[in-house]
């Protein structure tokens, strides 16, 4: 389907190459810090673009699912939330509770720190 659309689009608008070439870029998340910064950037995008006043109110965001405000079976927040555990001493045989409030604070911080 993408191939056919590319041919149609290129003929109609007199373009060559991939339809979406040029804008996309990829970078590996090689550190935990970068992983968290990318997550913050993604969740804050609608707010930074002044599309919403509240991060939780953007209907296409997974942010409310991370905070357990809505249930979304498409979101698996375990990896991200594992970075936001309560700062308690490790208990034998039990993991520390996840702190969604710590994640909320992290995402709420400005991108231009």
| H helical segments located in 26-72 | 32-48, 63-66
Residues 84, 86: Cα–Cα separation, whole Å? 7
The DSSP output letter for 67 is T
* Residue whose token pair is 């995008």: 45
Tokens for 103, please give them. Answer: 């994640």
Tokens for 6, please give them. Answer: 């590319």
Tokens for 7, please give them. Answer: 């041919």
Per-residue pLDDT tens over the stretch 52-97: 998 888 989 999 998 888 999 999 888 888 888 766 555 555 555 6
Q: How many CB atoms within 10 Å of residue 47?
A: 20
Model pTM? 0.64
Per-residue pLDDT tens over the stretch 2-28: 678 888 888 898 887 776 666 566 788
């Amino acid at each position: 389907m993408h191939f056919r659309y590319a041919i149609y689009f290129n003929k109609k608008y007199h373009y060559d190459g991939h339809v979406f070439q040029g804008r996309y870029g990829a970078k590996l998340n090689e550190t935990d810090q970068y992983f968290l910064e990318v997550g913050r950037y993604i969740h804050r995008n609608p707010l930074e673009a002044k599309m919403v006043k509240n991060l939780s109110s953007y209907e296409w965001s997974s942010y409310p699912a991370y905070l357990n405000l809505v249930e979304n079976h498409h979101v698996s927040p375990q990896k991200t939330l594992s970075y936001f555990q309560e700062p308690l001493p490790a208990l034998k045989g039990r993991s520390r509770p996840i702190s969604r409030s710590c994640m909320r604070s992290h995402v709420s911080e400005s991108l231009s720190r």
